[in-house]
């Protein structure tokens, strides 16, 4: 009875209206570089205090889901991820749109983001407690192994030149060590500057490398500036054959997304990168990845939205944030007098069902709004190049600054932009830098944390089963491509 009542309540006009409002706002905020899903949820949270729980949460859940989805729109159209969760969407999405297939890319983003969201809602409804228990098994040694597993993908995101990829990757690792060290809070490479105590923020670097760097590169390279963009949007929906190819990677990515999302402290950025790499591994068209693969694109779109259900699982069952936006959502739930946690399921089951129902409906609302909204954003491609470039430059700068209101970030995004340009010119891939910035600190801090807990016994990394499995997989990921290459060389030689 609870379930039915809860789900019916969602279809009350007011609730549905606020949900749609949230989705609309999310599409706007998510596609703006620098305006993240976390920010969108945070800004709406105080507004929702005047609304009853089901309506307030409808708005928050709507904006959260759609902002993550919409981050992919700008990733596809202008190579600038709207939120960090869409970083991997640029790899295939932007390439597709450069090839004149933005239409397909955008609809894949809409359809598969919704698939990811729906899949994760099903998981949330069915097996939230076992999943959360599994997520709790992640202690420092498991986090370390997960980070290493992610870092092992540097090889596969390096593209043509593995050495160059690894080199910029290592530079990214070094860059991420600036600031207080994660264990003793000893200031490293800060030159005694207070501004550098927390290191460089990730978002300005990401926006600089991808957004600003791409514009600088095009300004230096484009011959036909004066002409209007010749880029067409192309076909609007993927072909049946393409859909068939995307099915299995999408399912795999959905599972990866939910699990990574459930693990506290890891979010859409890590999930979509890992999903992209796994999709590549099982694909029959590996060579297309990074060059406009629909499978790769679908994998990233599914994964970052599937993270939401996973993160909500951990939040609702344990009261722990699964990622940054859920940390803000916890505050909203507390405000409603329903602090999340096991007690919530026991004391207010209909409240929990309302949330799960809202997740479903939010994703269903995203589908039409997303496809329509993407078409409107795609209109930017019909602007003249100087105007479009100016728009990207100013949004990159102000968006990066807006995250923390820290003037230093203005310079970070600028310098990252110049480096993004130089790296493109020298044919250095950018994927490894992003991997390094996200996972480097996670690897180091958890290595040291695990060793503090184990009192210096390094064996913890192999005696814990999850960490052993992840580390073995990382070793395989490093060795297999080398073996394959040797085999190919032999074949070619013979």
Partner 1 sequence: MLNADVVFSLISFAVALWYYIESLKFPPGVGNVPGPAFYPQLIFYVWVLLSLILFISGIKKRKTYFSYKLSDPRTKRGVLVIILTFLYLFLWGHGRFVLNTTIYLGIVMLILGEKIVQTIIASLAISIFVYYVFNKLFNVLLF
Partner 2 sequence: MRIWKVLLVGLLVLLLSTVAFAKFPEKQITLIIQAAAGGASDGVSRTIAAEAQKYLGVPIVCINKVGASGAIAMDYVAKSKPDGYTIGYVPVELSMLKALGYANIDPRNYDLIMRANILPAAVTVRKDAPWKDIKEFVAYAKEHPYEVTIGTSGAGSIWHIAGAALGEKTGAKFTYVPFPGAAPSVASLMGGHIAAVTCSPGEVLSGVQGGKLRVLAVMGEHRSPLYPDVPTLKEMGIDVVVMAWGGFALPKGVPKDRYDIIAKAFKKAYDSESFKKYCESHGIEPGYLPGDEFMKFAISQMELYTDLINKLGLNKKK
Smallest separation, CB 44 to partner 2 (Å): 11
Q: Which of 159, 116, 414, 85 is nearest to 254 (CA)?
A: 116
Q: Of 132 and 212, which CB lies nearer to partner 2 in the complex structure? A: 132
Tell me 35's DSSP state: -
Asked whether 290 and 95 are in contact (CB, 8 A), the reply is yes
Q: Of 102 and 460, which CB lies nearer to partner 1 in the complex structure? A: 460
Among 137, 379, 457, 485, binds partner 1 (CB under 8 A): 457
**Site map (CB under 8 A) of partner 1, residues 378-407, x = contact:** ------xxxx-xxx-xxx-xxx-xx--x-x
Smallest separation, CB 194 to partner 2 (Å): 4
Asked whether 436 and 154 are in contact (CB, 8 A), the reply is yes
Q: Of 221 and 347, which CB lies nearer to partner 2 in the complex structure? A: 347
Among 219, 251, 335, 466, binds partner 1 (CB under 8 A): 219
Is residue 411 a contact residue for partner 1 (CB under 8 A)? yes
Smallest separation, CB 331 to partner 1 (Å): 18
C-alpha 232, offset from chain centre: 27
CA–CA distance, 235 with 32 (Å, rounded to integer)? 25
Is residue 426 a contact residue for partner 1 (CB under 8 A)? yes
Smallest separation, CB 212 to partner 1 (Å): 8
Among 35, 298, 333, 362, binds partner 1 (CB under 8 A): 35
> Which SS3 state, helix, strand or coil, does residue 290 take?
coil
Smallest separation, CB 243 to partner 1 (Å): 36
Asked whether 276 and 299 are in contact (CB, 8 A), the reply is yes
> Which SS3 state, helix, strand or coil, does residue 405 take?
coil
CA–CA distance, 141 with 118 (Å, rounded to integer)? 31
Side-chain-facing half-sphere of 40: CA atoms under 13 Å: 32
User: How is residue 194 written in tokens?
Assistant: 């207070």
Please give the residue ranges that form the binding site for partner 2 (CB under 8 A). 38-39, 41-43, 45-46, 49, 136-140, 182-187, 194-198, 201, 264-265, 318-321, 324, 327-328, 331, 334-337, 339-344, 404-406, 408, 445, 449, 452-453, 455
Is residue 447 a contact residue for partner 1 (CB under 8 A)? yes
Strand partners, 188: 179
Tell me 222's DSSP state: -
Helix (H) or strand (E) holding 63: helix 53-78
Task: Return the one option of partner 2, partner 1, none that residue 139 interacts with (CB less than 5 to 8 A, by type).
Answer: partner 2
Output the DSSP codes for 132-197.
HHHHHT--HHHHHHHHHHHHGGGTTTSTT-HHHHHHHHHHHHHHTT-EE-TTT--EES-TT-GGGT
Is residue 414 a contact residue for partner 1 (CB under 8 A)? yes
Residues near partner 1, by CB under 8 A: 32, 35, 39, 43, 163-164, 166-167, 170-171, 173-174, 177, 181, 183-184, 186, 188-189, 216, 219-223, 225-226, 384-387, 389-391, 393-395, 397-399, 401-402, 405, 407, 410-411, 414, 417-418, 425-427, 444, 447-448, 451-452, 455-458
């Amino acid at each position: 009875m609870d379930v039915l009542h809860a789900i019916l309540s969602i279809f009350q006009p007011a609730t549905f209206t606020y949900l749609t409002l949230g989705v609309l706002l999310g599409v706007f905020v998510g596609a703006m570089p620098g305006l993240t899903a976390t920010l969108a949820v945070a800004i709406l949270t105080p507004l929702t205090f005047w609304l009853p729980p089901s309506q307030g949460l409808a708005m928050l859940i709507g904006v959260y889901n759609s902002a993550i989805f919409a981050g992919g729109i700008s990733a596809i159209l202008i190579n600038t991820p709207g939120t960090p969760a869409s970083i991997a969407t640029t790899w295939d999405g932007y390439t597709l749109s450069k090839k004149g297939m933005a239409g397909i890319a955008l609809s894949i983003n809409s359809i598969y983001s919704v698939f990811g969201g729906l899949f994760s809602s099903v998981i949330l409804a069915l097996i939230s407690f076992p999943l959360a228990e599994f997520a709790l098994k992640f202690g420092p040694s498991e986090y370390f192994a997960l980070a290493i597993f992610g870092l092992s993908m540097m090889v596969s995101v390096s593209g043509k030149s593995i050495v160059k990829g690894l080199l910029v990757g290592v530079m990214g690792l070094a860059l991420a060590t600036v600031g207080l060290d994660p264990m003793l809070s000893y200031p490293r490479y800060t030159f005694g500057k207070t501004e550098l105590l927390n290191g460089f923020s990730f978002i300005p670097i990401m926006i600089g490398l991808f957004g600003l760097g791409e514009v600088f590169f095009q300004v230096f390279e484009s011959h036909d500036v004066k002409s209007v963009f010749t880029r067409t949007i192309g076909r609007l929906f993927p072909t049946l054959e393409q859909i068939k190819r995307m099915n299995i990677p999408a399912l795999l990515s959905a599972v990866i997304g939910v699990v990574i999302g459930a693990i506290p402290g890891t979010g859409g950025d890590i999930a979509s990168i890992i999903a992209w790499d796994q999709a590549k591994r099982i694909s029959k068209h590996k060579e297309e990845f990074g060059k406009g693969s629909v499978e790769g694109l679908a994998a990233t779109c599914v994964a970052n939205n599937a993270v939401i259900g996973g993160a909500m699982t951990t939040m609702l069952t344990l009261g722990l944030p699964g990622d940054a936006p859920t940390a803000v959502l916890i505050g909203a739930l507390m405000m409603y007098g329903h602090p999340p946690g096991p007690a919530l399921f026991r004391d207010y089951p209909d409240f929990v069902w309302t949330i799960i129902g809202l997740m479903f409906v939010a994703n269903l609302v995203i589908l039409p709004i997303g496809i329509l909204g993407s078409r409107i954003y795609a209109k930017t491609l019909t602007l003249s190049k100087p105007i479009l470039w100016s728009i990207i430059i100013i949004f990159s700068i102000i968006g990066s600054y807006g995250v923390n209101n820290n003037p230093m970030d203005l310079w970070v995004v600028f310098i990252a932009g110049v480096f993004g340009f130089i790296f493109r010119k020298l044919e250095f891939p950018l994927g490894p830098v992003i991997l390094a910035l996200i996972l480097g600190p996670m690897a180091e801090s958890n290595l040291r944390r695990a060793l503090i807990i184990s009192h210096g016994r390094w064996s913890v990394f192999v005696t814990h089963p999850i960490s052993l499995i992840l580390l073995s997989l990382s070793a395989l990921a490093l060795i297999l491509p080398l073996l394959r290459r040797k085999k190919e060389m032999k074949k070619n030689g013979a």
